[in-house]
């Protein structure tokens, strides 16, 4: 039915490529383009012959708008799926505009020298995409992504007004290393060492990193310590969910992860300020990334499950309603299916679904949009079909 170009062949890119190839009635042609062409070629070699999707590969520097525009024009995709790093979001959006192609990503833009992600940079492209008649779908991973779709689904089917949202992201996976991150270490560590924040009564409330801790008994996983973080979907949901009073985001961390992180932070290894080392400028966090295990290598070692979902409190027909919708994903099952652990899987599957809905016109409207601004039902159906089935309850344990 259509052509997709995927930029980035890391953990998430690999899963999205596998899923597009499974969905070969929809994705008839696929170009995998990334900085290291070997990773693109390895995926092509593994998958061609297992799928009707015609796969090609290319080397590209997504920081270079001209080079990228030329590649997009020569392939002529219906949609570009950006699974490189948040630093490339704006150059890839520029190239999509120049080439006249729809755009989908999973993480919002973050300047390389400031560890603070905000939607303002990408929302500023709204008029350009409107004028070009193109759709840019932002944040079609799990969180952000499915959490926004869950919110739109709750709003559409179960609430007149949602007052409180708690997004809970639990990873009970064990990879056996004392310290490793489940996705790009640089992005992950920038996120968790930043100040926390939540949105309440129209304002942001800032916290120290890891200041707010709760214990939650997760379905199929059990009790875990979780900590309040700032997270990008808080920003868009605060605008898009009617009647909202408070949104918080919690993520689980084990004691070993936190102890190692504190130590690395205390010695300056998580800093993004360049230092002089043996006559060269290096960024400590980028050096740390180079010595940590590659998240893609965790797949065969990780056992256990993730549980990511949202708890909503609000009113329907004048009555108070609580609603919890979540997905449980098993690391080992993901590895058996696509050769990746569940963190990459839970991001790569919704990325493929978002690209499919934009490509087939179900979620097409000119401009720049977050996932909760579209009809959630086709996305919710596709989650069940493509490997991320969800469960729901109207009597969840609440977070205090």
Rounded distance between C-alpha atoms, residue 346 and residue 341, angstroms:
9
Candidates 79-87, 194-202, 217-225, 328-336; binding stretch for ligand NDP (CB under 6 A): 79-87
Q: Which of residues 292-321 bind ligand NDP (CB under 6 A)?
A: 295-296
86 belongs to the binding site for ligand NDP (CB under 6 A): yes
13 belongs to the binding site for ligand NDP (CB under 6 A): yes
Q: Which of residues 135-154 bind ligand NDP (CB under 6 A)?
A: 141-145
Quick note: the x/- pattern for ligand NDP over 234-273, rule CB under 6 A, is ----------------------------------------
Nearest to 145, CA basis, from 197, 111, 199, 107 = 107
Rounded distance between C-alpha atoms, residue 376 and residue 158, angstroms:
13
- Report which DSSP code applies to 293: P
How many residues would you count in the chain? 400
Q: Which of residues 46-65 bind ligand NDP (CB under 6 A)?
A: 60-63
For 260, the token pair is: 């190692």
Q: At its nearest, how many Å lie between ligand NDP and the CB of residue 205? A: 23
Q: Are strands 319-330 and 196-200 parallel, antiparallel or unpaired?
A: unpaired
Candidates 45-53, 84-92, 252-260, 383-391; binding stretch for ligand NDP (CB under 6 A): 84-92
Are the C-beta atoms of residues 23 and 49 closer than 8 Å to each other? no
Q: At its nearest, how many Å lie between ligand NDP and the CB of residue 160? A: 29
**Of 296 and 383, CB closest to ligand NDP:** 296
Cis omega (within 30 of 0) for bond into 144: yes
**Of 78 and 143, CB closest to ligand NDP:** 143
Residue 118, number of CB atoms within 10 A of its CB: 14
Size of the site for ligand NDP (CB under 6 A): 32
Q: At its nearest, how many Å lie between ligand NDP and the CB of residue 383? A: 13
| Residue choice 4, 8, 197, 199 for contact with ligand NDP (CB under 6 A) | 8
Residue 381, number of CB atoms within 10 A of its CB: 11
Q: From the centroid of its chain, how far is CA 99?
A: 25
Candidates 44-52, 82-90, 203-211, 330-338; binding stretch for ligand NDP (CB under 6 A): 82-90
Angstrom CA distances, 102 to 124, 232, 265, 363, stand at: 16, 22, 40, 11
Place of tokens 């590209």: 60
Q: Which of residues 355-394 bind ligand NDP (CB under 6 A)?
A: none
Site of interaction with ligand NDP (CB under 6 A): 8-13, 34-36, 39, 60-63, 83-86, 88, 106-107, 141-145, 183-184, 187, 295-296, 347
């Amino acid at each position: 039915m259509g052509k997709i170009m995927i930029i980035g062949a890391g953990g998430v890119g690999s899963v999205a490529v596998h899923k597009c190839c499974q969905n070969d009635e929809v994705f008839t042609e696929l170009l995998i383009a990334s900085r290291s062409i070997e990773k693109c070629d390895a995926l092509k070699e593994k998958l061609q012959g297992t799928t009707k999707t015609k796969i090609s590969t290319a080397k590209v520097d997504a920081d270079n708008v001209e080079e990228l525009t030329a590649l997009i024009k020569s392939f002529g995709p219906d949609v570009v799926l950006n699974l490189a790093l948040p630093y490339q979001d704006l150059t890839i959006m520029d190239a999509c505009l120049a080439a006249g192609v729809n755009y989908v990503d999973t993480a919002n833009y973050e300047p390389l020298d400031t560890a603070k992600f905000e939607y303002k940079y990408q929302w500023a492209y709204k008029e350009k995409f409107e004028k070009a008649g193109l759709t840019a779908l932002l944040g079609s991973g799990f969180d952000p992504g499915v959490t926004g779709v869950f919110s739109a689904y709750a709003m559409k089917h179960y609430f007149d007004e949602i007052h409180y949202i708690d997004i809970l992201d639990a990873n009970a996976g064990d990879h056996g290393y004392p310290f490793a991150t489940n996705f790009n270490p640089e992005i992950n560590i920038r996120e968790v060492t930043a100040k926390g924040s939540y949105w309440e009564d129209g304002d942001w409330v800032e916290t120290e990193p890891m200041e707010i801790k709760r214990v939650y008994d997760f379905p199929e996983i059990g009790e875990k310590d979780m900590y309040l973080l700032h997270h990008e979907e808080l920003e868009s949901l605060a605008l898009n969910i009617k009647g909202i009073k408070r949104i918080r985001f919690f993520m689980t961390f084990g004691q070993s992860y936190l102890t190692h992180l504190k130590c690395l932070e205390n010695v300056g290894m998580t800093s993004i300020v360049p230092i002089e080392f043996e006559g060269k400028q290096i960024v400590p966090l980028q050096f740390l990334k180079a010595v940590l295990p590659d998240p893609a290598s965790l797949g065969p070692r990780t056992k256990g499950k993730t549980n990511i979902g949202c708890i909503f409190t609000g009113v329907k027909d004048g009555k108070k309603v609580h609603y919890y919708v979540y997905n449980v994903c098993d690391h080992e099952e993901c590895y058996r299916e696509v050769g990746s652990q569940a963190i990459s899987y839970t991001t790569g599957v919704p990325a493929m679904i978002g690209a499919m809905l934009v490509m087939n016109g179900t979620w097409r409207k000119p401009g720049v949009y977050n996932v909760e601004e579209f009809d959630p039902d086709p996305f919710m159906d596709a989650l069940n079909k493509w490997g991320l089935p969800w469960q729901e309850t109207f009597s969840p344990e609440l977070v205090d």
